[in-house]
Structure 1
Amino acid sequence: MENIFFENFLGPQAENHPTLQNAIQRILEWHSAWRRKFYPEDASLYPEMYMAPAEFFITLDHFLKRLEQQPPYFSPRYFAQMLKDPALSSVIGYLAVILTNPNNHAYEGGPVTTQMEIEVVDDLLKLCGFQKGWGHLCSGGSLANTEAMWAVRDTYIRRFKKPGQVLFSNMSHYSWKRICSILMIPHYGEIPINIHFRMDLDKLETVLKKKPTMMVVANIGTTGCGAVDDVEGILTLRNKYKFHLHLDAAYGGYTRSILLNENGEIQNFNEVGHILKKDVYQSLISMKEADSITIDPHKQGSTGYGCGAVLYKDERLKKVILNTAPYTYHVKNKPNIGMFTLEGSRPGAVAAGCWLTHRMIPLNRNGYGKIIGECLLTAKELSERIEKESGFTPLNQPDLDIFCFYQMPSEKPASMTKMNKINLDHYENFSVLNPESNFILSKFVMDKKTVRAILPKIKRDDRQLVALRSVFIKHWLRMGRPSYLDRLLATLKNNLK
């Protein structure tokens, strides 16, 4: 078994505890010695023989006890949401830096971590295939998406005096409609999907013909079922209709590491075809042709939450949202990233955690590619086995590592009402709210329009249709004897109604 699966993670049962403990001890010893180097002639301000009061540790114990109420996000039995252990390097890097708490808004607030952020962004530009460009870290994908649309909107208005329309699929993240509201973009449209949960390009072109479009958003991994839009096809439309193509690769962007060898070169499809579909492979290659990209290290990048990123191919876009203030940016001829970001204060510790993780886990087939590839193979294997071995039916053939499924009622004709009754019962059984559940899943809810595209023969007698949803962002499920995947299938079979 590959060491990459184990060496940089704490493990479902804290198997790697000694490594983390050793690293934390090293950090504390180094940090304490580092502090004492500065002005060693200064006397301590603390009383002699100072000890923390007992109440400090009593409160800490109460705090830790309260944390035990959290769901077991670390367990292979939990695959309800996009939650996994951050890499040890992310935890260690964050801890080492948060003790001084630098702010990457201005260079003087975090010179070392600002440089680390620049290097992380350079990593991401190369991962996505951008030969040049600019970007920065931010709190998450929604913020990155907002900033990208803000820059595009203002650029478009300067040229055409009013904003054009923005288009995205009806499977896109819910925040896109909210962003359009915040930025006062009156004309936006949700494009219907095809049977693969991807944007229907014929319907996209129909809308493109009607009025000028400033931005189209394509997904590299939708939140609901991990669908990857046909980027190559959308690029053909971009060449015809001249819009800005933004990729929301918040979830699936790091999947591109599967394609890259040690020199950053794209592997042939026959080398990765056992993991990726051909059209997904092509869309990942085509990411390099996008105009801007949102990508989240805090998802498949294995860093802690609070680490998103936005990338621009055209560096001039950052100047559109330039801001400054009289009380900051005093270090000249140095990168002051905050001048070009929507956020003010920006944590240097997050950049440090991501930087160290990128140094520990290569952004190619031997690093992230192996870890993420195992997650994709988990979803693929379950989709291939589930109907025969458990009686449940696949809703999607996974593009990435998210797989949705349902039980079809035996009573005919099948209807949304009957399906919802059965599958909501399953959801309650496998919900995080059920303390006796052996596995924890989530649900995927579709409106009537989506049901018409995906399950056209189902009687549409309800407002929504519910399916079960599994997010295999953790790479443990095919391990063990029997594997967790084997145990899941047996559990599903036993719960068949």
Structure 2
Amino acid sequence: MADTEFDAYFLGPYGENADLFEELLTDFMRDHVYWRRNFHPESTPPISTSARYSQEFAGVAARMRRELFALSADLKKSVPWFSPRYVGHMSSDLLMSGLVANIMTTLYNPNNVSDQAAPTTVQKEIEVGFQLARMFGFETETAVRPCAWGHLTSGGTVSNYEGLRNLQALKFYPLALARALERLDLDLGAPGPLKRALPELSQWELVNLSVDMVVELRRAYLSAASQLGPQILHSLREAVRAERLETLGWVDFFEVHPGLKTPVVLAPNTAHYSWPKAMKLLGLGTANLRRVDVDGDMRMSAGDLQVVLDGLKDERRPVLSLVAILGTTEFGTIDPIGDIVAQRERALGAGLYFPIHVDAAWGGYLASIFRQEDGTLVPHEMLKEQFHYFPSDKVYGAFAALGSVESITVDPHKLGYIPYPAGAYVARNSGMIDFVTDKAPYAFEGHLEEQGDLRERLRNLGQYILEGSKPGASAASVHVSHRVLPLHTDAFGKLLKKGVRASEYFYDELHKIADRLGEDIIIDIPFKPDCNLVCLTLNPVKNRSAAGLNRFVQSIYDQMRVDASRPIQVRSFFASSTSLQAGDLSPEQRLTLAEQLGIEPKTFCASPRDLEHDASSLLLIRNTLMNPWLDFEDKGLNYIDRYLLFLEELILAELQSYT
């Protein structure tokens, strides 16, 4: 019998907890109505009790019902993400606590731009930021520097934009500060962490100061200026503002700083498509997104990264950020963040600094597996005892190093089991908010910079973030779910361990099928899974071309994909697909993979010529194993067994018609 510990957390694939769900919704809908009635009970209700009996009222009500029933009918074509028969994209059944909290809060319609518009849910969003920060190993005591901060976004794409925007603001601030001091002929000495006065440093030195040092430098110089009087402090602030990149724009800023080269952003070949979009949005240009090769496990290659860093140091080109991936969208692979952090320290010693932003939109919540209730890391050996393969040394090292990076993107609406939209951005040093603040008198109260407790300052949230108006319902949803199921290994981590174990079981059972059918077809997992996302591909033994492999996989996938033109009930199971690009692999990696799959290496190439046989990518079937009931057994078969049996039947049927 399957573990039932998490049964009460979800509505369930068959609506098994419908009574509880309906009871909660009804209770809180009524509670909301009581709140409206008791706001000012002495007022006369503007809608009379007799209004519902009028012809006009009845007509509106009828149209409303008709359109809502039509919507309900259309929604039945939706993706059945709640079912363990769905192993497609990064969606599953939702935590009932978050779902009810979202619906309930929507009735109040709070706008989390500031606490003027959302006095309750802004505070909950601030607390969510600290909850996530603790899970990643950041400091969350506001009296300690640096203290972390975080907030919710509409999704990982916006969080990635914000991460790059914030690092850009800090990267070029020292140049603006040094020039402002020169313009004012203001000698403040060398306050703060540097031994030399800022104007004495070269451009190269100024753009290679760490995030923590830039935060402390700003505080130190403003403090030194304030000791000379409020007029000096005001003049310095205004002079710095006039010299900043955010004021001048790229063209004028680079004219003021001749010899300074356009910064680059480093990211692996597996990086999400939001990163080229971010380069366009910030005006950096996609040509300055430097790709780092991946190894055979589809993780950023530490060796290639070192080659790239050495070249940039020789070129004297600043690195705005290095983007590491904690769970790639396509493959679920995890970059060696522990090694990358070590490389950053070595590079800093050689005069080149790069802040690290981790795109953990998919894998961020897996950090709860690694974190004990007291905030410390779960020992590696203790974790390994709970799995067959997970976590490898590189994967454990990646999660252990998260507390040393500058910022992290994570999506509660993925492995957090929260309704859309709920992304999040979390940064290790909250001091960066002073570099990105924008104020609007109608939205924010007039707090001066750096006054008050961090939580107090963040209640005017909109002045520090990219988005303006945004739903407080998302904040309530995430906050309540984190309270019900805390972010540590013995609570939320236990839920995610189920998915990791499911992927290990899937991995082993698929190999059994591969052995059984090996005379007719090659069933291959190109790289061992790092988490609960498993990719596989298929190639008939008779086929020797990459294009032929893709046609065969496509024919299998067509019978498992969402098809809006057909009722969802005709599908027994749903999977998703992705592709492995030849251009993202080295020639050696392409050769190894081609031999592994039994295809001619020349047919898998970055620039195909004969489309009948050649292909620039290989089609993969992607399986996301996050549904809580994948291990549920009925008549001796759990849902993974059923899915693999279904897949095997599809393969055998397709082989019969294959020529």
Task: Indicate whether 1:206 and 2:307 are aligned.
Answer: yes
| 8 Å Cα contact 2:407-2:426 kept in structure 1 | yes
1:145 paired residue number: 160
Q: TM-score, normalised by structure 2?
A: 0.73
| 8 Å Cα contact 2:155-2:424 kept in structure 1 | yes
Alpha-carbon distance between aligned partners in 2 of 1:450 and 1:272, rounded to the nearest angstrom: 32
* Correspondence for 1:68 among 63, 73, 76: 76
Alignment-mate amino acid for residue 399 of structure 2 = L
Deviation at 1:296, TM superposition (A): 1.0
2:221 paired residue number: none
Q: 1:386-405 alignment to 2 at 5 Å? A: 386-390=510-514, 391=517, 392-405=523-536
Q: Secondary structure at 1:362's aligned position in 2?
A: coil
1:336 paired residue number: 460
Deviation at 1:314, TM superposition (A): 1.7
| 8 Å Cα contact 1:108-1:331 kept in structure 2 | no
* Correspondence for 2:271 among 158, 162, 172: 172
* Correspondence for 2:627 among 469, 474, 487: 474
Task: Indicate whether 1:251 and 2:350 are aligned.
Answer: no
Residues 135-164 of structure 1 show CA distances to partners (whole Å, capped at 9, x for unaligned) of 211111110110110111122123345542
| 8 Å Cα contact 2:128-2:150 kept in structure 1 | no
Alpha-carbon distance between aligned partners in 2 of 1:43 and 1:297, rounded to the nearest angstrom: 43
Task: Indicate whether 1:240 and 2:349 are aligned.
Answer: no
Task: Indicate whether 1:353 and 2:506 are aligned.
Answer: no
Richer in helix (by share) = 2
1:282 paired residue number: 397
2:559 paired residue number: 429
* Correspondence for 1:465 among 592, 607, 618: 618
* Correspondence for 2:549 among 415, 419, 442: 419
Task: Indicate whether 1:122 and 2:130 are aligned.
Answer: yes
Alpha-carbon distance between aligned partners in 1 of 2:541 and 2:584, rounded to the nearest angstrom: 23
1:100 paired residue number: 108
| 8 Å Cα contact 2:321-2:354 kept in structure 1 | yes
With over 3 angstroms needed to count, the CA separation of the structure-2 counterparts of 1:284 and 1:464, relative to structure 1, is: same
Alpha-carbon distance between aligned partners in 1 of 2:421 and 2:325, rounded to the nearest angstrom: 21
Task: Indicate whether 1:109 and 2:233 are aligned.
Answer: no
| 8 Å Cα contact 1:375-1:473 kept in structure 2 | yes
Q: Secondary structure at 2:299's aligned position in 1?
A: coil
Alpha-carbon distance between aligned partners in 2 of 1:431 and 1:63, rounded to the nearest angstrom: 23
Task: Indicate whether 1:221 and 2:374 are aligned.
Answer: no
Alpha-carbon distance between aligned partners in 2 of 1:476 and 1:214, rounded to the nearest angstrom: 43
Alignment-mate amino acid for residue 22 of structure 1 = E
Task: Indicate whether 1:86 and 2:187 are aligned.
Answer: no
Alpha-carbon distance between aligned partners in 2 of 1:40 and 1:444, rounded to the nearest angstrom: 58
Alignment-mate amino acid for residue 337 of structure 1 = L
2:579 paired residue number: 445
Deviation at 1:450, TM superposition (A): 3.7
Structure 1 window deviating more from structure 2 (482-491 vs 415-424): it is 415-424
Alignment-mate amino acid for residue 220 of structure 1 = L
| 8 Å Cα contact 1:113-1:348 kept in structure 2 | yes
Q: Secondary structure at 2:641's aligned position in 1?
A: helix
Structure 1 window deviating more from structure 2 (109-118 vs 423-432): it is 423-432
Alignment-mate amino acid for residue 72 of structure 1 = P
Residues 274-295 of structure 1 show CA distances to partners (whole Å, capped at 9, x for unaligned) of 1422321221111111111111
| 8 Å Cα contact 1:12-1:76 kept in structure 2 | yes
| 8 Å Cα contact 1:246-1:291 kept in structure 2 | yes
| 8 Å Cα contact 1:294-1:310 kept in structure 2 | yes
Alpha-carbon distance between aligned partners in 2 of 1:437 and 1:54, rounded to the nearest angstrom: 35
Alpha-carbon distance between aligned partners in 2 of 1:100 and 1:123, rounded to the nearest angstrom: 24
Alpha-carbon distance between aligned partners in 2 of 1:475 and 1:169, rounded to the nearest angstrom: 31
1:323 paired residue number: 438
Alpha-carbon distance between aligned partners in 1 of 2:99 and 2:72, rounded to the nearest angstrom: 18
Deviation at 1:122, TM superposition (A): 0.9
Q: Secondary structure at 2:138's aligned position in 1?
A: coil
Alpha-carbon distance between aligned partners in 2 of 1:148 and 1:444, rounded to the nearest angstrom: 26
* Correspondence for 1:189 among 276, 287, 290: 290
RMSD: 1.7
Aligned length: 496
Deviation at 1:112, TM superposition (A): 0.7
Deviation at 1:4, TM superposition (A): 4.0
Residues 112-135 of structure 1 show CA distances to partners (whole Å, capped at 9, x for unaligned) of 111111111110010000012112
Alignment-mate amino acid for residue 285 of structure 1 = A
Alpha-carbon distance between aligned partners in 2 of 1:83 and 1:61, rounded to the nearest angstrom: 25
Alpha-carbon distance between aligned partners in 1 of 2:346 and 2:298, rounded to the nearest angstrom: 24
Identity %: 28
Alpha-carbon distance between aligned partners in 2 of 1:55 and 1:327, rounded to the nearest angstrom: 38
Residues 183-217 of structure 1 show CA distances to partners (whole Å, capped at 9, x for unaligned) of 12242211121110101111111111122322101
1:303 paired residue number: 418
| 8 Å Cα contact 1:380-1:397 kept in structure 2 | no
With over 3 angstroms needed to count, the CA separation of the structure-2 counterparts of 1:450 and 1:383, relative to structure 1, is: farther
Q: Secondary structure at 2:172's aligned position in 1?
A: helix
1:42 paired residue number: 43
| 8 Å Cα contact 1:77-1:438 kept in structure 2 | yes
Alpha-carbon distance between aligned partners in 2 of 1:154 and 1:330, rounded to the nearest angstrom: 24
Residues 151-180 of structure 1 show CA distances to partners (whole Å, capped at 9, x for unaligned) of 111221233455421100111101101111
Task: Indicate whether 1:18 and 2:45 are aligned.
Answer: no
Q: Which consecutive unaligned segments of at least 5 residues does structure 1 have?
A: none
Alpha-carbon distance between aligned partners in 1 of 2:572 and 2:537, rounded to the nearest angstrom: 18
| 8 Å Cα contact 2:362-2:411 kept in structure 1 | yes
Alpha-carbon distance between aligned partners in 1 of 2:464 and 2:284, rounded to the nearest angstrom: 21
Q: Secondary structure at 1:276's aligned position in 2?
A: coil
Deviation at 1:331, TM superposition (A): 6.9
1:136 paired residue number: 151
Alpha-carbon distance between aligned partners in 1 of 2:485 and 2:431, rounded to the nearest angstrom: 31
| 8 Å Cα contact 2:82-2:94 kept in structure 1 | no
2:609 paired residue number: none
Q: TM-score, normalised by structure 1?
A: 0.96
| 8 Å Cα contact 1:107-1:331 kept in structure 2 | no
Deviation at 1:2, TM superposition (A): 4.4
Flag the structure with larger Rg. 2
